[in-house]
Chain A
Amino acid sequence: MEYFVQQLINGLTLGSIYGLIAIGYTMVYGIIGMINFAHGDIFMIGSFIALATFLVLTTVLGFAFLPVVLLIVLIVSMLFTSAWGWTVERLAYRPLRGSFRLAPLITAIGMSIVLQNFVQVTQGARVKPLPPQIQGGITLMEGNTENGAIVVQLSYMQIIIIVTTLVLMTLFTLLISRTSLGRAQRACEQDRKMASLLGVNVDRTISLTFVMGAALASVAGLMFLLLYGVIDFYIGFLAGVKAFTAAVLGGIGSLPGAMLGGLLIGLIEVFWSGYFSVEYKDVAAFSILAIVLIFLPSGLLGKPEVEKV
């Protein structure tokens, strides 16, 4: 029981990170109908920016009060990663708008290769370990098993991750449902041509979608860095594929779906590693993706796709 609760907490934490990345996928897919393959690498870029900012603040400038440092890191990495998201869209996707479907997917794969190798070349291929910054936690349960005492702990790190995700999700849902930007976005999602006829600046709306997706991915990058303490130039690929799986599982195009899918994927992965085998945890996530798509192509919360002739 204790083991189960602990895994549940871990799964929800990991799932929050996947969910934050998945929102970027689901929004972009909703608005221009393409898989932004480079989104996972934007997440990786975000975590590198967060790491460098953190180091500059603590070692070079000598800030010591952790909450302020983390807040600055969060804001700075959101800003800089957004610039990356914007640039990727501007360079690789906008020139191909209106081209055939495969074209932006190919440039997205190309961009993913470019980003990975750019970071590898400029920052080196070795992993960057950051010692744990936030330690301690709340002990929820204590129990005894035949292997000895087991303590269920909700660490402060996990609390921060889950709370931040909740806050961002709330802000984000409000942004989509209440502001003119969100309205423009929903309009473009339904019919891009009609939206542009009605005076919505479609290019700007799409750019902002990428910017928002990148900002959320950078938050995920920061949390990944704090939670695992190790990043390298390759973390974007797996995290990206799993986040995309989450977006599909929740129903692509649906924001709550992306979050729900992220949590489910996180739970599946953690429980699979906890009870079966760590080696095959990725296989579990990918199999879920295949099974969901085959039996429930529109995902858990998605609208079924109507085939136009």
Chain B
Amino acid sequence: MSTVSTNVNPENSFQASIKDALLAAFLTGVLGFYFLALRTDIAPGGLAVTTRWGLWFSAIAIVFAGRLLLNLFVWRTDKPVTRGLLSASAGVGTALPDLGKWLGRALFAFAVILPFFFIIFFPGQQRQYIDLAILIMTYIMLGWGLNIVVGLAGLLDLGYVAFYAVGAYSFALLSTHYEFIGFWTALPLAGLLAAFWGVILGFPVLRLRGDYLAIVTLAFGEIIRVVLLNWYEFTGGPNGISGIPKPTFFGLEFSRGEGGFADFFGLEFSTIHRFVYLYYIIFLLAIITNIVTMRLRRLPVGRAWEALREDEIACRSLGINTTNTKLTAFAIGAMFGGFAGSFFATRQGFISPESFTFLESAIILAIVVLGGLGSQIGVVIASIVMIGGIEMLRNIGFLSQIFGPGFDPTQYRMLIFGLAMVLIMVWKPRGLISTREPSAVLKEKKKIGADMVAQGEGH
């Protein structure tokens, strides 16, 4: 890669490229043989194997051609065609602090007018787009909440969805059991309960670090899900809870006829009102999360979180109470997860344990890490790219014209999501927007970063 020789590098010769591509194609053949060429299916009288040689050979051919082209033009050449692109992105990187600020403002302004934008410009699909915007906004909020735990305090939490579930079930159970509890009264309660669970789950795992913490939080997430699934009398088990009330606008319901929102304001009734309202609720909640996070970062506790993330031992020797610091991070992160959970419950009107699987935690964590740990705007961009991009796959009609009518792009959603996770991480390990600078920092640059020290460097 970094050779500066004027002669042709033997690594870069045409033969080497061909050889490498052949190897890749051979490996594809080996890996794909049992999954692309063969397929086991249930047939009368047991399982039967069918063959799909066409698929197998085309996969091998695609890998060979793709690898060869990449070798010739990007990887194994002295003049990669992507060089211009790389230097451009490096330029963007240095101008980023400013750009990030302006991008943030622009995105905020767009988010404020978003429902009206869609109503005016996409009258046919407004409902679908606003619904997608609500979904993305929910993930932004969850991402920001988890960012407190992972990005600021550096505690890897793989069970964040547990708090999301606690919030959703708190609201659902409270509102279906007690008539007088509506969305707005249940919201703070759900947040408190989630924070309470954050502390309960946080206590035992405080002594753990890094990967161990990750795996225990994962276990807790699964425990909560299994309990929700099996505690039939209380949570409804796999059937979940339905009939969760919709939020009201100061007591006005979004219903047709007398006493509804549209009737009160003299508007013509439209189902879109409720979607716009829901959008603004989650927008408000997300903005509150963001503001609270930004404020907390400047308070002593926020500083302590960042110090904890950079170096726990130094933190302890400076007299910071790491237990309390970790617990507050867990509790506050969990609280926002709980808020988002009760919003989820009211939006769906129905919840079941299926919505709170490990995959959900993985998606939220992926958003935080891909966006760049600790970066608020990164979470927004990652949510839009990952969630928006994936949802867009549902609407791609032309693919089925290429691959035939039986082609269903939705079944590839998670496959593409996983691939995107791997590729973005390999391409930019620090996330799309890599600002992880502590708010308060010593002017002198350290010789070696804390993360390198953690890996055994610089002793």
Whether B47 contacts A237 by the Cβ 8 Å rule is no
Partner pick for B422 among A48, A99, A111, CB 8 A cutoff? A111
Partner pick for B226 among A48, A106, A279, CB 8 A cutoff? A279
Chain A: interface secondary structure? helix
Shortest B229–chain A CB gap in Å is 8
Closest chain A residue to B211, Cβ basis: A35
Q: Does B456 contact A (CB under 8 A)?
A: yes
Contacts of B216 in A (CB 8 A): 289-290, 293
Whether A283 contacts B227 by the Cβ 8 Å rule is yes
Q: Give the interface segment out of A52-60, A136-144, A196-204, A259-267.
A: A52-60
CB proximity to A under 8 Å, residues B186-205: 204-205
Q: Considering the chains assembled together, what is the distance between the CA atoms of A118 and B36 in angstroms? A: 10
Q: Does A244 contact B (CB under 8 A)?
A: yes
Shortest A183–chain B CB gap in Å is 21
Q: Considering the chains assembled together, what is the distance between the CA atoms of A103 and B36 in angstroms? A: 30
Q: Does A91 contact B (CB under 8 A)?
A: yes
Whether A293 contacts B454 by the Cβ 8 Å rule is no
Partner pick for B369 among A29, A87, A106, A237, CB 8 A cutoff? A106
Closest chain A residue to B373, Cβ basis: A102
Q: Does B455 contact A (CB under 8 A)?
A: yes
Given contacts A83-B31, A282-B222, A286-B223, contact A52 B369 (CB under 8 A): no
Closest chain A residue to B450, Cβ basis: A100
Interface string of B395-428 (1 = CB under 8 A from A): 0000000000000000110110111111001100
Interface size on B, residues (CB 8 A): 65
Q: Give the interface segment out of A10-18, A124-132, A149-157.
A: A124-132
Interface size on A, residues (CB 8 A): 71
Contacts of B36 in A (CB 8 A): 122
Partner pick for A101 among B207, B358, B417, B451, CB 8 A cutoff? B451
Whether A105 contacts B156 by the Cβ 8 Å rule is yes
CB proximity to B under 8 Å, residues A235-256: 237, 241, 244-245, 248
Q: Does A110 contact B (CB under 8 A)?
A: yes
Contacts of A227 in B (CB 8 A): none
Shortest B292–chain A CB gap in Å is 24
CB proximity to B under 8 Å, residues A106-134: 106-107, 109-114, 116-124, 126, 128-131
Q: Does A84 contact B (CB under 8 A)?
A: yes
Contacts of A178 in B (CB 8 A): none
Whether A56 contacts B49 by the Cβ 8 Å rule is yes
Contacts of A60 in B (CB 8 A): 49
Q: Considering the chains assembled together, what is the distance between the CA atoms of A116 and B227 in angstroms? A: 25
Shortest A2–chain B CB gap in Å is 29
Whether B38 contacts A109 by the Cβ 8 Å rule is no
Interface string of B26-43 (1 = CB under 8 A from A): 010011011110111110
Closest chain A residue to B213, Cβ basis: A293
Partner pick for B215 among A59, A248, A279, CB 8 A cutoff? A248
Please give me the 7 A-B residue pairs with the lowest Cβ-Cβ distance, nearest first. A110-B421, A113-B418, A114-B418, A286-B219, A117-B415, A110-B422, A279-B230
Given contacts A34-B211, A59-B48, 18 further A-B contacts (CB under 8 A): A49-B34, A56-B38, A56-B49, A91-B426, A102-B369, A107-B425, A109-B365, A111-B422, A114-B418, A114-B422, A129-B47, A131-B46, A191-B456, A245-B219, A283-B223, A290-B219, A297-B212, A307-B313
Can you report 10 residue pairs joining A to B where beta carbons are below 8 Å apart?
A83-B27, A100-B451, A102-B373, A110-B419, A129-B42, A131-B46, A191-B456, A289-B215, A293-B205, A293-B208
Footprint of A on B, CB under 8 Å?
Answer: 27, 30-31, 33-36, 38-42, 46-49, 150, 156, 204-205, 207-208, 210-212, 214-216, 218-220, 222-223, 226-227, 229-230, 313, 358-359, 362, 365-366, 369-370, 373, 411-412, 414-415, 417-422, 425-426, 429-430, 451, 454-456, 459
